[in-house]
Structure 1
Amino acid sequence: MTPSLPLLAVTALVTGLLGAPDREVSPVGDVVEHVAGHASGTYWTPQRMARAVPIGLLGGLQRITAARPGAPSALPAAPPGSVLPSVARAALPPAARAVLAPGQAASRSTATTRTTRASRTARTRQAAAMPPATTSGTRWAAGGSVTRTTGRVFLTLNGVDFSCSASAVRSANRDLVATAGHCVKDGAGDWAENWTFVPGYDEGRQPYGAFPARRMFVAGPWSRSGNDDYDVGMVAVDDLDGQHLTDLVGGQPIAFDPPRSRRTYGFGFPADPPYDGERLLYCAGVPHGDPQGQTRDQGLRCDLTAGASGGPWLSGFDPVSGRGTLTSVSSFKYSNDHRTMYGPYFGSAVRDLFRTAERA
C-alpha cells in the first residue's frame, strides 16, 4: 500500500457484503472474481445519485471518505467542439481580370478582402473550438465517442453510497467496463454492492440507461494488499433490454505495455469541491514516473478531485472523434501533491485481468 497521510475523513469498513464467495479464477494469470449482487431496479434514484459520496484519491482505506457537501463546478464551460465550415476562396483567372472595368476591380478587391477576413475568422473559431491539448482540468465540451463511453459509477460500501468514474471497453463479451480497483473492491476489504454504470452521464441525465454489474474482477495483488500498482477493476455488466453495452455506446480499445510518457487525456466526473460530479471533465499532458518511487504508476498534472477515480486515460487520443486507446485509469494522489493524479501502468497483470473479464 502506498504510504500517504490522510487528507479526508475515513469511513471504517468492518462488515462483509452479501454475495457469493470470492474465488481465484485463472484462465489467465492472478485474478480474483466476485459474482455481483444485483441492485434493485429502483435503488439508484436521482436523489440517491445526487447524495452519493465521491471515493477519495489517497491510498488504501484512506480513499473511502465521509460525506462532504458538493459545490457547483468553478470551471467555465469550453466552447462547443463543432467544426465550422471553411469559407471558399474565389479566384478569377487572369483573362477575366483583364476585362474588368476599374469599378469592377475595386468591387472584386473588396470582396476578396472580405472573403479573406471571413476565412481567418472561420479558422480562428475552429481553433478556439478545439479543446486544449494540455490542461490540468477543463470541462469536456467537444463531444465525440468519449462522451458516450465514459460515465459515472454508483456503488455501495458498508452501507454508504459512493461514486466513481469508468469507461466502456471493447471486449469479446461487449459488456466490459474498466475502472479503478478501489471502485470495485476496497483492497483486501469488501467488494462493492449495488454497482451500476451510467454511460454518457450529464447533469443527471442518463441517455443510455444504467447497467448493473454481474461479475467483478480485480488483480490478485490488489485484492490481497491494496497494492496501488494494480489498482484496476474490470466489471462485466448486464445487458439492457437485450442490448450489450458497447453495441449501444461503443467502447475504447485497450492496450498493454504501452510506451511511457506519451501524451494522455484523462477523463472523469470529479465530485469533491470545487466540482459537483455532474459534468465530464478532463486533464491532458505528458505523464511522468512516480518521483517518490513508491509505485510503477505514471503521474499526470491534474486538478480533478475525488469522484474522478477510475476515469479512463486515453493515449493517441483524437479530440475530433473522441477516440483513443485506454492505457490507464485515475487511481490516487499523494497527500503532499494534490496537483498530480497517478494511474497504474497497464502491464501483464492488467492484460490477464482484461482477458479473464472479457470472457465473463
Structure 2
Amino acid sequence: MNLARLPIAIAATTAALFVTAPPAVAADPWAQGTVSTVGKIIWDAGGGRLGLCSGAIVDAPNGSVVATAAHCVSGDESPGAPGDVYFVPAYDHGREHYREDGWRVAAFHTPEGWDTTRETSAILPHDYAFLTLEAKDGRTVQEVWGANALAFEPVTEEGEVAVLGYPAADPYDGESLHYCAGDLRVLDQGEAEAANVGGLLLEECDLTAGSSGGPWLQDYDQATESGTVLAVMSVGSGEGQVVGRPFPDEARTLFTAAGAERAPAGG
C-alpha cells in the first residue's frame, strides 16, 4: 500500500474538515462514554470557528503535560501557536463551557523538525507535540484525572492498539469520544514513502478531523482509565486508513522540557 499521498487530513480547525462524504468504515463510540486521561483540545480560531483537536495526559514530573500532534499547534496557514487554548479531560458534549471545564495551555513544545515553512512530506515525521498546562485550583491535571505512560521508539509490532479521539467531520459531531482498534503495525520501507515510514498504520478506521493528536493506546487499564501512549494521530486517507506518529528518541528532550516547566497557577 502506498501512503505517500496521505494529507494532513485530520485537521486542527473546523474550517479544514476535509471529508466531504461519510466514509464506509465507522469508528465506534467509547463504551464507557469517556476516558479520564483523554480529552479534547479547543480554542477560538476566529470568525465564529473553534479549533478542535484531541490529546492525552502523560505522566510527567510537573503533572501537567498533554501529548498531541504538532499540526494541532501550527501549520502552513497558521504558523504561530493559537492563543487561549484549553484541554478538557473526559470531554462529553460541553463545547459551550470548555473554558470552565478545561485546563488552560501555558506552553507549547514542538520539535525543531516541525518547520511549517517546509513541505509537508519533509516535516510529517515530526508531527508530535507536548502541551504544558496551567494548574487549576491549586492542582495539576494529572492529580485530578490521572495519566498515561509514554513510550518512545522503537515500537514493536506486538498486540493490539486502540486509537481514541473526538472526530468532528461527518458523520461525527466532535462531541463524544470514539475509537478504532486493531493489530499494531509499523510502516516499513517499501510500504510507504519516507514521510510515513516508521508511522503506525491502522486500517478500517474512519476517525476524522478533530481526532488529530488523539492517543494510540496499548495496555489500557479500565480501572485507572489509562494505558501507554505509543503515538498520536497524525494523518488519514479519508478511505479508512489512519497513521499515528510515534515518539522518536529525540522527543525525550522535548518531553523533559515540557515536564520540567513549572505549571503556572490558573483559576
- Counterpart residue number, 1:151: 39
Q: Deviations over 1:146-174 (max 9, x none)?
A: 71111110124576531011111110111
- Counterpart residue number, 1:119: none
SS at match of 2:239: strand
- Counterpart residue number, 1:282: 179
Amino acid corresponding to residue 103 of structure 2 in structure 1: F
Residues 157 and 190 in structure 1, CA contact (< 8 A), matched pair in contact too:
no
Amino acid corresponding to residue 175 of structure 1 in structure 2: S
Cα distance in 2, alignment partners of residues 230 and 157 from structure 1: 23
SS at match of 2:256: helix
- Counterpart residue number, 1:238: 134
- State whether structure 2 residue 190 is matched by structure 1 residue 300: no
- Counterpart residue number, 1:82: none
Cα distance in 1, alignment partners of residues 138 and 36 from structure 2: 19
Amino acid corresponding to residue 162 of structure 2 in structure 1: Y
- Counterpart residue number, 1:50: none
- Counterpart residue number, 2:250: 349
Cα distance in 2, alignment partners of residues 179 and 345 from structure 1: 11
Cα distance in 1, alignment partners of residues 13 and 104 from structure 2: 21
- Counterpart residue number, 1:212: 104
Amino acid corresponding to residue 190 of structure 1 in structure 2: G
Residues 218 and 232 in structure 1, CA contact (< 8 A), matched pair in contact too:
yes
CA 1:5–1:340 in 2, change beyond 3 Å: closer, same or farther?
A: closer
The structure that is strand-richer by fraction is 2
Residues 220 and 228 in structure 2, CA contact (< 8 A), matched pair in contact too:
yes
For the pair shown, the structure with the greater C-alpha radius of gyration is: 1
Cα distance in 2, alignment partners of residues 249 and 271 from structure 1: 24
Q: Scaled by the length of structure 2, what TM-score is found?
A: 0.79
Cα distance in 1, alignment partners of residues 233 and 239 from structure 2: 13
Q: Deviations over 1:231-265 (max 9, x none)?
A: 11101011111111100111111111243323111
Amino acid corresponding to residue 250 of structure 2 in structure 1: A
The structure that is helix-richer by fraction is 1
Cα distance in 2, alignment partners of residues 5 and 264 from structure 1: 21
- Counterpart residue number, 1:185: 74
Residues 258 and 327 in structure 1, CA contact (< 8 A), matched pair in contact too:
no
Cα distance in 2, alignment partners of residues 349 and 136 from structure 1: 35
CA 1:196–1:65 in 2, change beyond 3 Å: closer, same or farther?
A: closer
Amino acid corresponding to residue 248 of structure 1 in structure 2: V
Residues 40 and 88 in structure 2, CA contact (< 8 A), matched pair in contact too:
yes
Alignment of 1:1-360 (within 5 A): 4=5, 56-57=9-10, 66=15, 137-142=27-32, 147-157=35-45, 160-186=49-75, 189-204=79-94, 209-223=101-115, 225=118, 227-262=123-158, 263-290=160-187, 291-294=191-194, 295=196, 296-301=198-203, 302-319=205-222, 321-334=224-237, 338-360=239-261
CA 1:254–1:190 in 2, change beyond 3 Å: closer, same or farther?
A: same
Residues 92 and 177 in structure 2, CA contact (< 8 A), matched pair in contact too:
yes
Q: Scaled by the length of structure 1, what TM-score is found?
A: 0.60
SS at match of 1:223: coil
Amino acid corresponding to residue 214 of structure 1 in structure 2: A
How many residues get paired?
Answer: 241
Give me the identity figure in percent: 31
Offset at residue 342 of structure 1 (A):
0.5
SS at match of 1:356: helix
SS at match of 2:253: helix
CA 1:258–1:140 in 2, change beyond 3 Å: closer, same or farther?
A: farther
SS at match of 1:228: helix
Residues 56 and 65 in structure 1, CA contact (< 8 A), matched pair in contact too:
no
Could you list the runs of 5+ residues in structure 2 that have no partner in the other structure?
A: 262-267
Cα distance in 2, alignment partners of residues 231 and 175 from structure 1: 20
Cα distance in 1, alignment partners of residues 46 and 156 from structure 2: 37
Amino acid corresponding to residue 282 of structure 1 in structure 2: Y
Cα distance in 2, alignment partners of residues 4 and 257 from structure 1: 24
Offset at residue 5 of structure 1 (A):
7.2
Amino acid corresponding to residue 211 of structure 1 in structure 2: W
CA 1:67–1:329 in 2, change beyond 3 Å: closer, same or farther?
A: closer
Amino acid corresponding to residue 68 of structure 2 in structure 1: T
